[in-house]
Amino acid sequence: MHRFDSEMTDLVLDYVRARLEMPEVPLDHPGDAATLGALLDGLITDGGRDPREVLDLYADHLALNVISADSPRFLAFIPSAPTKAALLFDTVVSCASLQGISWLEAAGAVAAENQALRVLSDLAGLPEAAGGAFVSGGSAGNLSALVVARDVARRRLGDPRARLRVAVSSQAHSSIGNTLSILDLEPLVVPTVDRQLTEGAVRAALDMNAGSDPVCAIVATAGTTNA
């Protein structure tokens, strides 16, 4: 659809309103690959499909096979928009088709992001010079943080290719292993007691490996997300 279609717009907004009006969002469940594949078989055609048919397929089948991150019974991962207000404003932002890459094409959005980051920095007690960016989730956040740690350590060592390690526990998030592989960093796995990564355990591991490649970061596990 390249032009405004009032009927399709009303169709979508009615669904959005009905979803937001739910007193408690259903948790739903993962679906069966074969069943979903059969439902979607032949859906994409050269001539397209009626919008109501597509929305009905989504509402009656696809949505039921997607675990709702905003359900009060959903306790895993990080909800993308956990409140009614956040979900509603996601709709507003989507309509604007924002491309928040830089100040050039998204000055308003970047200014709002910077204001939110300032509030969070103040709450965390960070200095006035602190800054950053919101990312898509924990995996991207871990990657960004460890890139900074690696680059700062190599700059301090005066060697842009210095071999470095990162102290982790065996309960670290699965994205940490992927990140270390991407960044060519080695893990220093710290032994833990009862899955607790303590200061004493980290210090002992660092002392035992004092002659090896330097450690540029510690991934301080706060909970065992993969348990």
pLDDT tens by residue, 112-135: 999 999 999 999 999 999 988 888
pLDDT of residue 227: 47
pLDDT of residue 84: 86
10 inside domain: yes
- pTM value is 0.76
Tell me how far apart the alpha carbons of residues 5 and 208 are, in angstroms, rounded to a whole number.
67
Radius of gyration of the chain (CA): 23
Bridge partners (DSSP) of residue 190 are 169
pLDDT of residue 225: 61
107 inside domain: no
Weakly modelled stretches of the chain, pLDDT under 70: 78-79, 81, 222-227
- Is the Cα torsion angle 192, 166, 178, 63 positive or negative in sign? positive
174 inside domain: yes
Q: Are residues 89 and 29 in the same domain?
A: yes
124 inside domain: no
147 inside domain: yes
223 inside domain: no
132 inside domain: no
Half-sphere exposure of 161 (CA within 13 A, CB side): 0
Residues 213-225 have pLDDT tens digits of: 999 999 987 666 6
Residue ending a domain, among 81, 96, 111, is: 96
CA–CA distances in Å: residue 78 to residues 69, 109, 112, 124: 8, 22, 21, 20
**Structural domains in the chain (count):** 2
Q: Are residues 87 and 146 in the same domain?
A: no
pLDDT of residue 109: 93
Contact 130, 121 (CB under 8 A): yes
pLDDT of residue 123: 96
Domain that holds residue 188: 138-218
